[in-house]
Amino acid sequence: MTFHRLFPRISTQLAIVAGAAILSACASSGPTAPPAKTAPPTMAATMAAVDAAVLAGQNDKAYALLKQAGSTFPTDKTPWVRMAQMRFDSTNYGEAIVNALEALERDPDDTLANSIVAVSGLRVTSKALSDLSHKNNLSGNVRTEAQELAKLLRTSLNEEVLVANRAGARKDAGTKKTVSAPPTATPRPGSSGGDPFGALK
C-alpha cells in the first residue's frame, strides 16, 4: 500500500528533474557569440616590427618577419628590397642578388634593387678574379670574360682606362698641390707705371 502511495510522488519528481534538465540543455545549446575577428596584418605594421627587431639587434627575427611578409603580400616588392639590403650589408652577396631579383620581378624599375644586383655581382666577380689571379689561373674563357667585363665597365663609366688613368690623375693632382707658387716680383723703381709687364722684366 505504501509503495503505491509513493510511486506517484517519485514519478512527479522525476518528471520535474527531467524537464529542468531539458530546459537547461536548450539554454546551453543556444546561439553563441562569434569570436572576435583579428585584423589582418598590414605592410606598415610589419615593417615597423622589422625596424624594432633590427634596433634590438635581432636581425634573424627581422629577416623572418620579412620572409613572412613576402608570402603574405606576394605582389609587394618592399620586403624583398629590404631583405636584399640586409644581406648586402652583411656581405652575403649571393642572397642579396636573389632577393633583389625577386623585387625586380615585381618592379623592374626599382633603382635600389638594380644597384644591389650590380654591385653585389661586381664584388663577387672581383673576389673570384682576384683569387684566380693569385693562383695564376686567370686564363682561357675566364680571362676572356674578364676582359669583356672590363670593356663593359669602361663603356658604362665612360672611361678609357678603369684604374690607371684615375690613379695618374690623382697623382698629378697631388703633385700640383705640392708645388709652391713663385714669389711675386716687387716692382722696381723707375718702371713704367703704364706697362703691366714691367714687374716681370
Predicted pLDDT at 151: 78
- Residue 72, domain extent: 43-131
Is 97 a domain residue? yes
Predicted pLDDT at 111: 96
Q: Do both 110 and 48 map to the same domain?
A: yes
Q: Do both 163 and 102 map to the same domain?
A: no
User: Do residues 155 and 143 touch, judged by C-beta distance below 8 A?
Assistant: no
pLDDT, one tens digit per residue, over 120-161 is 999 998 888 888 777 776 677 777 877 777 777 777 777 765
Q: Do both 106 and 60 map to the same domain?
A: yes
What is the pLDDT of the chain when averaged over all its residues?
74
Is 193 a domain residue? no
- CA 41 centroid distance within chain: 20
| Residue 45, number of CB atoms within 10 A of its CB | 12
pLDDT, one tens digit per residue, over 181-193 is 444 444 444 444 4
Is 9 a domain residue? no
Is 80 a domain residue? yes
Model confidence at 165, in pLDDT bands (50, 70, 90)?
Answer: very low
d(CA 106, CA 69): 14
Grid cell of 142 as nine digits: 675566364
Q: Do both 124 and 158 map to the same domain?
A: no
Is 110 a domain residue? yes
Number of structural domains found in the chain = 2
- What does residue 30 show for φ and ψ, rounded to 5 degrees? -70, 175
Q: Do both 95 and 166 map to the same domain?
A: no
Predicted pLDDT at 192: 42
pLDDT, one tens digit per residue, over 21-42 is 565 655 555 556 666 667 778 9
Those residues with Cβ within 8 angstroms of residue 78's Cβ, 6 or more apart along the chain or in another chain: 43, 47, 69
d(CA 94, CA 91): 9
Grid cell of 67 as nine digits: 620572409
Mean pLDDT confidence for 97-102: 98
Q: Do both 115 and 164 map to the same domain?
A: no
d(CA 194, CA 187): 12
Predicted pLDDT at 195: 42
Q: When comparing pLDDT for 49 and 22, which is higher? A: 49
